[in-house]
Structure formats: C-alpha cells, structure tokens
Structure 1
Amino acid sequence: MSTTTKYGAIIIGSGQGGTPLARALAEAGYNTALIEREHIGGCCVNDGCTPTKTMIASGRVAHLSRLGPEYGVHMAGPSKSVRRNEVTIDMTKVRQRKRDIASFVGERTLNVVMGDGSQRVVSGETIVINTGCRPVVPPLKGLEKVDRPRILDSTSIMELGEVPEHLVVVGGGYIGVEFGQLFRRLGARVTIVHRGGQLLPREDKELADALLDIFREDHIAVHLETTPTGVSSGAKGSFDVSIRDKYGEAVLKDASHILFAAGRVPNTERLNAAVAGVKTDAKRYVVTNEFLETSAPGIYAIGDIRGPPAFTHISYDDFRVLRSALLPSPQTASKLSVKDRLVAYVAYTDPQFAHVGLHEHEAREKFPDRTILTAQMPMTYVARALETAETRGAMKAVVDGDTGHILGFSCLGAEGGELMSVVQVAMIGNLHYQKLQDAVLAHPTFAESLNNLWGSLR
C-alpha cells in the first residue's frame, strides 16, 4: 500500500480561484499542494477569456479595415475602388497571438496520477475542489465519419491554422455568438443552429432580438428553434448537416467545420466524490452552501464545478469568500458569503452584450408585490455612438418603482461592458436612479447616456 503524504491544504484544479487560494494558504503557513491536470491558471488564461478576447480583437480589426472607406480611411490610397472584402487574414498570426488528475479514495484522501504515470496518495486537513467544467460534444448521427480536426469545441477552435470555409455553430449562447461573429469577420461563412427561440436565452428578448438583427445584417445565418440531427458526406471533402425545425427537415450544405457550443459538463465523473461524502446534484455539480462548504467536513468547492453562473470573476470571488473563512483577518469583520451577490458579465460580441443584476422577468418574479419599472433607449440616442458610427443596439434598466433603486441593467452597445460597470457601482452603493440621471458626466462619453436613459421609465 502506498504511503500517504499529508498536507495542511490540497487544491484540486488551478483556476482563477484555485491558484490565488493556494498561494494565500501557502503564504499563511499551510503546507499546501496544488493538483492540476493540464496547465497552471485554468481555463481563463489558457483557453478561455484571455485567448478568445485577443482573437476577437483581431476580428474587430478585420471588421474595421473593411469599413475604412466609410470613415474616409482607405487601405490602398484614396481610390474609391477599394472594396469592403479586400482584407487578407493570416490565421497563423491570429492563432499565435493567443496561443484525469485526482480522485478521492477516502475521507479527505486522494489518489493522484503524476505526470510520469506514477501514483501518489495524499491527504489534507482542508481540501478545495476546483476542477471546473469542459465542453460537451453531443452524439450526432454520422459525426464519426467527419475528420476529427473539423469537429471543434471552444478550445480546439482557437488552434485552427486557417479560416473555415463554412463554420456551422451548434448553440446560440455566449460562446456560440462570440465565435460565430469572430469567424464571420475573419472571412468564414457562418451558420448558427440554436434550439431556443432567441439567441442568448437568459437575456431580455428585446435585446436578444436586436443582436439577431445585427448578426443577420452581418450575413450570419441563424436558425432558431432548430436542432441538428446528423451529418453526411458533402461535395469536395465538405459535409452536410441535417437539421430539424418546426417546419420540418432541412440540410445545411457544404460545411467545412462544426463548432459545438451548446453546453459544458462538470469534471466530477472521475472525482469519486461520494467516497469522501461529497454530494453532487442531478447534473453532477458539487453542492455547497453559501460559505462554499460541501456536505463533507473540511472539503469545499469553488468555481464552475458548483454550477452556473460560470464566469471567471465568479470563480475569483469564490476565492475571496473562501479565503475569509480559512484565513480570517481583522480587515474581514465577518465571514463572507456568496448569498445575494451581484452578478455582472459581458458577452464580447460587437457591439458588446453586458448585464448586471436582475432581468425584467426575474425582478417581476422575485418581487411580485412591488412596482417594477423599465427604461429602454436605443444607442442611436447616444451622442458618442453617433460620433463613432457605433449606433447598433440598445440599453435597458429595471428599477424598483417603490424605492428608486436599480435592480438590473443590460446594454447591447459599444463599450457596453464599461457602461454596465458604471451602473453596477451605483447598484453596489444602493443609489437611487436619479443620482445617475442628475450626475454631471463628461461630454462626449458613452457613460453620459446614463443621464438620459431614465427619462423613458415606464
């Protein structure tokens, strides 16, 4: 039987929460082990936020290059013959710009497979599960006949060395819309297949429909309430994707690549959590309370493994919450909690789609006895948007009519994430919406529009 190595703390998974927690515990004097299967830093810095946003920046440069003549900027001199499609994409350059670990064998005891194939048994007084999630590729008839490099997920699509001829995106959530627009801008023909009735199904329908209009204006084909049913061989090495919608069966011809962006699953199936007394739910996410404690004493969970919302900043906030419990300090008056925290996020489409707090339907469901007001304003009313020719989209706010407090805010617009952050700070300060309405904000800025939004409250 292997000798068990004992630690004060063991972190399973090096993500945005696990890495700083391991460092904080080690600096506090804990004998700490960090177990990571793939790469230090987790999804965000290696194949998530950082690399995708650098690629999206490349896509925006390609987009603006095509629009140059509309701004009076020409790539080949002043000739009016410069066409919108005269942009060359070096996909190798774009790619270069971004470029089973452990299972429980007992109470707070793990078997770890090392890089050289050897195994070690470790135990810890405190164990933190931070194993995250991974993309799921659903079973699809005929998919096994497609060359593996043409079957993509959110990680492998960033390793492409060429722009796809025709990219079929399965899923119209945050990942699907970001990559769909990116590769359209890089020159691919793009078709999005989404089983829901709107893109970004969690968002307010008015803004989701506005994003749909933008995508169709940019010549991205979008099929809503549609499910892929199979693939078959096409012409010249391509393949066809069969789909089904409310009208019947159809075929998307000549796909070169298919991206599955329809969901992620938690990395718990090999964790053998039950042996350690750690409960998981029906979808295999680890169950925790508001202090991130699992059902097993001394074992905690942070990040995506706990379930949605699966955002990097949520994982990092989990780190702060858990640090306050494990390493109390005079600066932390009481143990922090994840209960009722204000969740903000941005989908990096162009224009950006940002949100914080409650959507209208959520506010009405949560506060049925209160007066819920909404304000909506198109970006065409924003002076800075007119000056920069970035007028697509709209913003929407949800307000408690009884107190004047802002309950939620969404923006589909240029610098939507920055606008959202201004409102988020106001919400953190529990400010009345009139504080933004009456604020003297610099002109001309996008934030200045927050003076005018509230005039449409209904």
Structure 2
Amino acid sequence: MSQQMSQHFDAIVIGTGQGGGPLAVKLAESGRRTAVIERHLFGGTCVNVGCTPTKTYVASARAAHVARHAGDYGVIVEGEVRVDLARVKARKDGVIAESREGMEKWLRNTPGVAVFNGHGRFTGPHSISVTGADGHQQALDADAIFINTGTRATVPEVDGLAGVSHLTNSTILELTELPEHLAIVGGSYIALEFAQMFRRFGSRVTVLVRGDRVLAREDKDFAVQVQKVLSREGVEFLFNTEASKLEPAGKGIRITLKDQTQDQASIEASHLLFATGRTPNTDDLGLEQAGIALNKHGLIDVDGRLRTRTEGVWALGDVNGRGAFTHTSYNDYEIIASNVVDGEARSVDSRIMCYAVFVDPPFARVGMSETEIRKDGRRALIATMPMSRVGRARERGETDGFMKVLVDAETKKILGAGMLGIEADEAIHTFIDIMNADAPYTRLQRAMHIHPTVSELIPTLLGMLEPLK
C-alpha cells in the first residue's frame, strides 16, 4: 500500500467528552484549523453512560418512591405503584439522543472543525492515524494534540465470569425488564446509586462490599448514614466479602462468597452488576510512539497546566488522574483554553475538589474531609447539624442526614464541608464559592440567606464551630 499523505491541522482533539467537544470549538473559533476524532458516541461518558442516563433513572426512581409515600402527605394514590422499565429506558434514550446529537451537530457545523469518525492512534509525537469502522485509515498531524479519551467500566477477574452474563454501568441501562434480584459488586458511588434506583423500581437488591462499610473514602459518619437510608428502603448489604466464583443457576447466577464469616456461603441472583471502578482508555492509543508513558494506574501524568511529558500534547478529563467527574473534565477544558487560546496562566493545582453522590438524599462534599484533617494534624474548628433542624427538610418530610464544616483555627478559612440531606448537591455550592473566593468563614456566617431554604442554616452551622478534639 502506498504511503498516505498526512492532513495537517493546527490542533487535534481525540475524544468528544465534556472537555474535548468544547475545546475543539474554542480552538477553531480562535482561528486554529482543528480536527476532532470520535471512535464511537459523541458526548463521552457523561452523556451516553454516565450522568445523563443515570440521573434520568434517578428521577424515575424518585417519582416511584414519592408516589408510594404519597399517603404520608395526604395524597391518595389508588392501586399498586409499578415501574415500566422499558418506558423508563425510552425516556432516558430520548434525553441522551438530544445531548449526543446536539454535540455532534455543534462540532460538524462549527467552521474550522473537521470531524473524523474512527479510532485514533499516535504514530509519532504529533501524528495520528485514524482507522474507520470499515478499516480505512487516514493520517493526520498537528502542532498541538489534546487527549480526551475517557474511561470504561472495570470488570474484575472472577472464576467463572466467562460462563455467566453480567452487567456494567453501561449495559444495565439497556435492560427493558426489571431484574428480580440484582446483585451489585462494589460499595462506592456508582454501586449505591444503582442499588437505590433499582430497589425503588421494584427489584430486590443485594450489595457485596469488600470492606466493612460503603463509601470507604468518606468520613464514617456520612457513610453509615447513607447505608442506613438505603437499608431502610430494603437494600441488602453483605460486608467484608467478595465474589470468588460465578456459575449459572437456573435463569440466574450463583455467586460464591469469598469471606466465609457470612451466614451464607453463596447467594443467587437474576442479574449481576459490577460497579468496581473505571479503566482509562489509554491502552490502545499508541502513546509509546509519542514518548508518553502511563503511570501504574494506566493514567497519563500531567503538570498543573495539563501538559504531558511530550511538548505539544495535553491530556484532559478522566485520563489524567486529576479528577474523574464531568465538572473536572469541563474545568480541564477551561484551564487549557485559558492557557492555550487566551494567553493566561491557569493551573489545575489550585482547584478545590468537590463532588456529589446522587443517592436520595444526596451526599455532597468539598475540600478536605474530617478524616483527612485529623490525619494532617492541623488545628481546626468543626460544627455539625442534623437536617432535622432545617425547615425546608421538615416541611418536605425528608429529614435524613446532617451537615458538617471544618475551619482552619488560625486563618478562619474553610478547609472542607460535607452535606448529606435534601438538596445537599445544590446547597454545597455555598461552601464551594466562599472557599474559591478565599474568604474567611465569617463572610459566609454573616450573610443573609433566603427563608425557607437549606442554605439558610449554613450561617447558623458556622456559628456552632468548636475546636476539633
């Protein structure tokens, strides 16, 4: 086959996730001729198998939950509340399609952007080969290349895995019939969100947790409260256990448990979901051709400006280990765009981490946890308040959870905050904003908030600070 002529661009973006798509447009609008490569679905993880579909499922699950408890509010709902998973899926597919098609249309209609469908691999530090679904290859090169290839679900090696059907966070979204009994391996964010939503849909749910509690990276008090809420709704938990062997059992799966301290050596389920983390999509990019080595986690190391070790190559989104959320990916785009296009000098090193777990009620956190502050050994102030003190929570009949804030005793700056409760995923931004403003907690404590809201109790919470013992 003859040597193919390479098409030259000013910039190449590999992947159209929440950072890659906007970056391609920003680069093109700045006058840079830009190529964007997408091998599968436009919009990345968030749009297709992450935030967008799961939060539509969370909304359906909450609607079912509220309907079942309508009588508590004096509202009469006649008959059994049932969930039609096929209709839930259809609604989800519609929401996804709107976002996915919007991203693709935006890219294709932006002057200066050339879209290539296929798998991109480095053939040199600044050259890429794109292989289409039909095997046709195209050669591209650019002075600047941006990697935004995201992650995929991790499925651990378990004896018998090949002989049984199993689900990931992606494939479970394609079910049209409710599982009779859903077993979930994992105890973190994805596992808990799916556990609650499918329990509310009507499935029996059992969660297999390797450690002695869920949300192992969070403060124990928050983790215990989340577990209590889900247990009260009927989610079953098995702790200190792992799936050691899988085999068919009737129409379902028999899962042999590794830890024999449990009352039972095995369980049977109709469906099995692995929610055990994410694997970076970096293993088939030909990064060695660009002089880029992966770290032990399969991630691409970057500096504060998200530059890799190879000049002219950046990595943004889940593949760089600087955050694994849609909002961190988008912020990566903003930082790169500011530095490359606008001539600024922004760094990810100054970013204050924040995120939420979208169980109901949601758990949200910013900055350092109490556990991290105690380990750090610094002098701090702490305050906690149960959500039962919040008027909005009482009025809505949803008083589960509490809020916690920690402050540096010397600087009076907020070190971190966590909230588990109604609208915590919104109210946490009160803390996020004051921390990013680098203002003392007193600025927030003395602010006047609107009644009746969740945020109005945050100044009261700050008035309860006392030394961390």
Q: How high is the TM-score relative to the length of structure 1?
A: 0.93
Look up the equivalent residue of 1:301 and give its one-letter code.
A
CA distance in 1 between partners of 2:12 and 2:175 (Å)? 36
CA contact (8 A) 2:450 2:456 kept: yes
Specify the alignment match of 2:213 in structure 1.
198
Specify the alignment match of 2:269 in structure 1.
255
CA contact (8 A) 2:45 2:151 kept: no
Specify the alignment match of 1:79 in structure 2.
none
Flag as ranges the 4+ runs of structure 1 deviating above 4 A.
none
**Percent identity among equivalent residues?**
40
Look up the equivalent residue of 2:82 and give its one-letter code.
T
CA contact (8 A) 1:278 1:295 kept: yes
Matched, 1:87 2:95: no
CA shift for structure 1 position 254: 2.9
CA distance in 2 between partners of 1:445 and 1:31 (Å)? 48
CA contact (8 A) 2:188 2:214 kept: yes
Which region of structure 1 is more displaced relative to structure 2, 202-211 or 192-201?
192-201
CA distance in 1 between partners of 2:246 and 2:296 (Å)? 30
Which of 432, 456, 460 is the equivalent residue of 1:448?
Answer: 456
Matched, 1:223 2:241: no
Specify the alignment match of 2:301 in structure 1.
287
CA distance in 2 between partners of 1:208 and 1:47 (Å)? 25
Which of 128, 146, 153 is the equivalent residue of 1:110?
Answer: 128
CA distance in 1 between partners of 2:357 and 2:392 (Å)? 21
Instruction: Provide the secondary structure at the position in 2 that maps to 1:6.
Output: strand
Question: How many residues matched?
Answer: 440
Which region of structure 1 is more displaced relative to structure 2, 439-448 or 400-409?
439-448
Matched, 1:306 2:320: yes
Specify the alignment match of 1:348 in structure 2.
358
Q: Which runs of 5 or more structure 2 residues have no equivalent in the other structure?
A: 94-117
Specify the alignment match of 1:266 in structure 2.
280
CA contact (8 A) 2:121 2:286 kept: yes
Instruction: Provide the secondary structure at the position in 2 that maps to 1:11.
Output: strand
CA contact (8 A) 1:129 1:301 kept: yes
Instruction: Provide the secondary structure at the position in 1 that maps to 2:404.
Output: strand
CA contact (8 A) 2:323 2:329 kept: no
CA shift for structure 1 position 161: 0.3
Specify the alignment match of 1:358 in structure 2.
368
CA distance in 1 between partners of 2:127 and 2:239 (Å)? 47
CA shift for structure 1 position 434: 2.8
CA shift for structure 1 position 209: 0.7
Specify the alignment match of 1:189 in structure 2.
204
Specify the alignment match of 2:41 in structure 1.
39
Which of 392, 402, 409 is the equivalent residue of 1:394?
Answer: 402
RMSD: 1.6
Specify the alignment match of 1:6 in structure 2.
8
Specify the alignment match of 2:156 in structure 1.
138
Q: Which runs of 5 or more structure 1 residues have no equivalent in the other structure?
A: 77-81
Matched, 1:296 2:310: yes
CA distance in 2 between partners of 1:112 and 1:251 (Å)? 49
Which of 421, 437, 448 is the equivalent residue of 1:429?
Answer: 437
Specify the alignment match of 1:98 in structure 2.
92
Instruction: Provide the secondary structure at the position in 1 that maps to 2:406.
Output: strand
CA shift for structure 1 position 450: 0.8
CA distance in 2 between partners of 1:259 and 1:233 (Å)? 15
Specify the alignment match of 2:385 in structure 1.
377
CA distance in 1 between partners of 2:260 and 2:391 (Å)? 42
CA distance in 2 between partners of 1:456 and 1:208 (Å)? 23
CA contact (8 A) 1:243 1:249 kept: no
CA distance in 1 between partners of 2:260 and 2:427 (Å)? 38
Instruction: Provide the secondary structure at the position in 1 that maps to 2:327.
Output: helix
Matches within 5 A, 1:46-61: 46-61=48-63
Matches within 5 A, 1:170-189: 170-189=185-204
Instruction: Provide the secondary structure at the position in 1 that maps to 2:348.
Output: coil
Matched, 1:338 2:353: no
CA shift for structure 1 position 439: 2.6
Q: Deviations over 1:226-280 (max 9, x none)?
A: 211112232x412211112372683443301111111111111111211111121
Q: Deviations over 1:40-99 (max 9, x none)?
A: 1111112211111011000000000100111111112xxxxx6xxx21111111001111
Look up the equivalent residue of 1:63 and give its one-letter code.
H
CA distance in 1 between partners of 2:248 and 2:287 (Å)? 42
CA shift for structure 1 position 404: 1.6
CA distance in 2 between partners of 1:180 and 1:124 (Å)? 45
Look up the equivalent residue of 2:459 and give its one-letter code.
N
Look up the equivalent residue of 1:163 and give its one-letter code.
L
CA contact (8 A) 1:242 1:250 kept: no
CA contact (8 A) 1:328 1:335 kept: no
CA distance in 1 between partners of 2:450 and 2:138 (Å)? 60
Which of 23, 27, 44 is the equivalent residue of 1:25?
Answer: 27
Instruction: Provide the secondary structure at the position in 1 that maps to 2:68.
Output: helix
CA distance in 2 between partners of 1:69 and 1:325 (Å)? 56
CA contact (8 A) 1:197 1:225 kept: yes
CA distance in 2 between partners of 1:435 and 1:386 (Å)? 27
